[in-house]
């Protein structure tokens, strides 16, 4: 299988930059948005789950408010974002509805993904939307984000969403053909890098500066590709103005720059979980659950838990230990310690009656669980 074919996967995160969305500051480019929506629907028809990360709220707000340039004051930027987000979401909703596809607005801040509980909540919500056939339209919550809590650009946000959802591919649509060995604005015939490893340190040296309306230049796209690669996602940087660009990519055509991860998605995510997480408590599992975890790699269900140790919140890391106290695995728990204590030895069908709400059927989902190597 060629590398071009390898990027055709099940779940894509597609990020569209400000310079494309707003046609360089003259308001939303409705014709271009219609084209991208048509292609995104085409990806869905080919069995690919689609998540959209769209810039443009601040730039659209600037245009709507008749401002000459992006405001420097944070509160005015936030005001422009609030105005612009209305137009941005309305446009996407109208275009997707023409194909009978529902959309959902999701605004995130850095704190939403840094906090484990909110991370799991965001993941559950986005996964639920995708499972229902809804296309999430994600943007940074510029209206409330402060300088120390913002992503800095939507390239980074796109990469973190790819991590969050275990996406196979992150597509960054920009106004450049891809990554060149030299800045193509200064050297028009600079050769295009068609494929490289995301972790290659030489790439950052080749990256150029940022654009006028968006906050992310080619350097941020390289950094985003590195972030996406940690959960095994391939990143494609490509000109969003190319005809049928997304549909050509899904057919395996070699356009743009592909930045590949070193590991496959599942292996990379497990490695990331194993290296990043500190244990906050533990769940003692019975022999049956231990066997299922070790041999089948399945999720940990409440019925297999016989004791809860320590205090922890939803989304924090707990160890799964056997009856001899030996750690079997660790992962992100779906319930806090009090709730987990109520669910000990209980079948998943009893969760709603015991807790008063219908939570996740798993104590720890297999995607958020990593086995010990022994």
Sheet holding 234-239, edge to edge: 103-108, 135-140, 49-54, 11-16, 169-174, 234-239, 257-260, 195-197
Q: What pLDDT does 32 receive?
A: 94
Could you tell me if 177 and 317 lie in one domain?
no
154 is an annotated ligand-binding site residue = yes
- Asked whether the predicted pLDDT for residue 149 surpasses 80, the reply is no
Tally of domains in the chain? 2
pLDDT at 152: 56
Of 224, 240, 269, at which residue does a domain stop?
A: 269
| DSSP character string of 262-273 | SS-HHHHHHHHH
Q: pLDDT tens across 51-99, in order? A: 999 988 888 888 889 888 888 888 888 888 899 999 999 999 999 999 9
Phi and psi dihedrals of 244, rounded to 5? 50, 40
Confidence (pLDDT) at 123: 87
Kindly state the average pLDDT of the residues 263-284.
Answer: 69
Residue 156 assigned ligand-binding role: no
331 and 210 within one domain? no
Q: pLDDT tens digits for 196-254? A: 999 898 887 777 544 433 334 788 899 899 989 888 899 999 999 999 999 999 999 99
**Whole-number pLDDT of residue 9:** 43
Give the model's confidence band at 6: pLDDT under 50 very low, under 70 low, under 90 confident, else very high: very low
Asked if residue 13 and residue 80 are part of one domain, the reply reads yes
Same domain (yes/no): 288, 229: no
Are 29 and 114 in a shared domain?
yes
Residue 36 has pLDDT above 90, yes or no: yes
Q: Please give the torsion angle defined by the CA atoms of residues 177, 57, 10 and 300, in that order, rounded to the nearest 10 degrees.
A: 140
Shared domain check, 8 and 120: yes
Same domain? 215 vs 350: no
Q: Is 142 annotated as a binding residue?
A: yes
Is 135 found in the same domain as 101? yes
Q: Is 175 annotated as a binding residue?
A: yes
Q: Is the pLDDT of residue 50 over 80?
A: yes
Q: Measured on CA atoms in the order 172, 178, 181, 187, is the torsion positive or negative?
A: negative
* Same-domain pairing of 61 and 144: yes
Strand residue runs (E) in 131-242: 135-140, 169-174, 195-197, 234-239
Q: Which of 58-67, 125-134, 136-145, 244-253 has the lowest mean pLDDT?
A: 136-145
Q: Is 2 within any annotated ligand binding site?
A: no
User: Same domain, yes or no, for 54 and 77?
Assistant: yes
Q: Taking the model in full, what pTM does it have?
A: 0.74
Specify whether 136 is located in the same domain as 157.
Answer: yes
**Structural domain range at position 56:** 3-269
Q: Which of 76, 92, 79, 77 is nearest to 29 (CA)?
A: 92
Mean residue pLDDT of the chain comes to: 85
Q: What is the pLDDT of residue 197?
A: 94
pLDDT number for residue 227: 87
Write the DSSP string, 266-315: HHHHHHHHHHH--EEEEEEE-HHHHHHHHHH-PPBPGGGEEEEES---TT
- Segment 6-26 shows an average pLDDT of 76
Q: Which of 218, 240, 269 delimits the end of a domain?
A: 269
Per-residue pLDDT at 24: 64
- The CATH number assigned to the domain holding 338 equals 2.30.130.10
Would you say 15 is a known binding-site residue? yes
CATH of the domain at 74: 3.40.1160.10
pLDDT at position 142 is: 65
Of the candidates 250, 269, 288, which is a domain's last residue? 269
Is residue 153 located within the same domain as residue 175?
yes
pLDDT of res. 216: 43
């Amino acid at each position: 299988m060629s590398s071009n074919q390898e990027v055709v996967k099940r779940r894509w995160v597609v990020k569209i930059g400000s310079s494309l969305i707003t046609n360089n500051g003259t308001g939303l480019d409705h014709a271009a948005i219609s084209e991208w929506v048509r292609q995104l629907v085409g990806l869905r028809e080919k069995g690919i789950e689609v998540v959209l990360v769209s810039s443009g709220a601040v730039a659209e707000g600037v245009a709507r408010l008749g401002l000459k340039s992006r405001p420097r004051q944070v509160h005015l930027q936030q005001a422009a974002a609030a105005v612009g987000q209305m137009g941005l979401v309305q446009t996407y909703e109208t275009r997707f509805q023409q194909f009978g596809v529902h959309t959902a607005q999701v605004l995130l801040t850095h704190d939403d993904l840094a906090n484990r509980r909110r991370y799991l909540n965001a993941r559950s919500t986005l996964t639920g939307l995708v499972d229902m056939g809804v296309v999430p339209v994600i943007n940074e919550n510029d209206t409330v984000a402060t300088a120390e809590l913002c992503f800095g650009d939507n390239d980074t946000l796109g990469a973190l969403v790819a991590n969050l959802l275990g996406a196979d591919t992150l597509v960054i649509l920009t106004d450049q053909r891809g990554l060149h060995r030299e800045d193509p604005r200064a050297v028009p015939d600079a050769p295009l890098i068609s494929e490289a490893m995301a972790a290659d340190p030489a790439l950052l040296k080749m990256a150029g500066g940022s654009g006028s309306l968006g906050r992310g230049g080619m350097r941020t796209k390289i950094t985003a590709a590195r972030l996406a690669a940690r959960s095994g996602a391939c990143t494609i940087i490509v000109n969003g103005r190319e005809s049928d660009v997304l549909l050509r990519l899904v057919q395996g055509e070699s356009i743009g720059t592909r930045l590949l991860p070193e590991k496959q998605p599942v292996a990379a995510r497990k490695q990331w979980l194993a290296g990043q997480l500190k244990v906050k408590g533990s769940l003692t599992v019975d022999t049956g659950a231990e066997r299922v975890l070790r041999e089948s790699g399945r999720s940990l269900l409440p019925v297999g838990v016989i004791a809860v140790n320590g205090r922890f919140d939803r989304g924090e890391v707990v160890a799964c230990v056997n009856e001899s106290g030996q750690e079997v695995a660790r992962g992100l728990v779906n319930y806090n310690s009090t709730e987990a204590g109520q669910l000990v030895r209980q079948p998943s069908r009893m969760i709603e009656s015991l807790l008063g709400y219908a939570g996740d059927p798993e104590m720890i989902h297999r995607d958020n669980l990593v086995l010990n190597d022994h």
